[in-house]
Amino acid sequence: MDFVFYWKKSKQIIDRLIEDYLASIKEWELLEVSKYILKDGKRFRATLTMYFTEALGGELENSYKAALATEILHSASLALDDIVDYDTVRRGVASAWAVYTNRRVIFITNYLIPTALNMISSYGERALKLSIDLWRDTAIGALKDMYGSPKNYLETIELKTASLFKLSTMLSAFSANKEEYADLMLDLGKYLGIAYQVIDDYIDCVKYEKKEIKELVGSAKQLYEFKGSDYPKYVKEVYNDAVTNYISTVKKLDIKEGFRDTTILIPSFLAYGLLNEAGISEEFQSFSNNKL
């Protein structure tokens, strides 16, 4: 299976699900800002929910509510992050708060978040509880991202980024009717999230040293202060440890035939995609033990 093809196909479905959801909002005060917050995006976390639902032998349609909820929560978290970080640009256009003011965006995210959690409740009490816990972890991670100690870098990225990856993969256990795999899918998401964020922070550090960005913020700043000029070696270690643990977890799952090889390569797909987008894809093979 070609994961890029799967992702593009899933993105079309997710975009349609979001359009249908927005069409259900009748209050214009909610609709305008919700539409802005939810527009565009790679839809990768929602794609993970759909992909792993099928990989575990479930029906794709059963993942639609979970995928939509995941995308709503992710988009809401980005809108709030932009307010906290004073980022005025998101996905190549003005951030939601820069257009609608931070007060209005906060009101709308306060509407979107419980709406998403209500969707998740259709998968049962445990799915909802785990999701609430993960959203709490995301909030704690956001605090650590701004105020945490560099020595707690790994904890910061697990909380701030891996929590929503964990949500994406965990929900697939419920949408596939394989609740017994929920803990393993949480582990899977954790390792994916760590692999993703450490590469993202690596890119920021590279850009900083090239003077392409003026200053480092958040977890990238913590990484650089924690390891200094040794950060490339550390990133390789963290990334490869995360991928090794991810593959070990995959082997404990009953993955549907035709999905296993693609599943193994997802961390590499993520890392290469980030590096390629940053214009330094040639660095992928230099620190990854896994080949695309």
What's 110's domain CATH number? 1.10.600.10
- pLDDT of amino acid 292: 47
Residue 292 included in any domain: no
Q: Residue 284: which residues within 8 A CB-CB, separation 6 or more?
A: 268, 271, 272, 275, 276, 292
Instruction: Please give the tally of structural domains in the chain.
Output: 1
Residue 60 included in any domain: yes
- Expressed as residue numbers, the domain containing 201 is 3-287
Distance, in Å, from the CA atom of 177 to the CA atom of 218, rounded to the nearest integer, reads: 37
Residue 76 included in any domain: yes
Residue 202 included in any domain: yes
State pTM to two decimals. Answer: 0.94
CB 292 within 8 A of CB 265: yes
Residue 210 included in any domain: yes
Residue 59 included in any domain: yes
- Tens place of pLDDT per residue across the chain (292 aa): 789 999 999 999 999 999 999 999 988 788 999 999 999 889 999 999 999 999 999 999 999 999 999 999 999 999 998 898 888 888 788 999 999 999 999 999 999 999 999 999 999 999 999 999 999 999 999 999 999 999 999 999 999 999 999 999 999 999 999 999 999 999 999 999 999 999 999 999 999 999 999 999 999 999 999 999 999 999 999 999 999 999 999 999 999 999 999 999 999 999 999 999 999 988 887 766 655 4
Residue 213 included in any domain: yes
Distance, in Å, from the CA atom of 35 to the CA atom of 21, rounded to the nearest integer, reads: 10
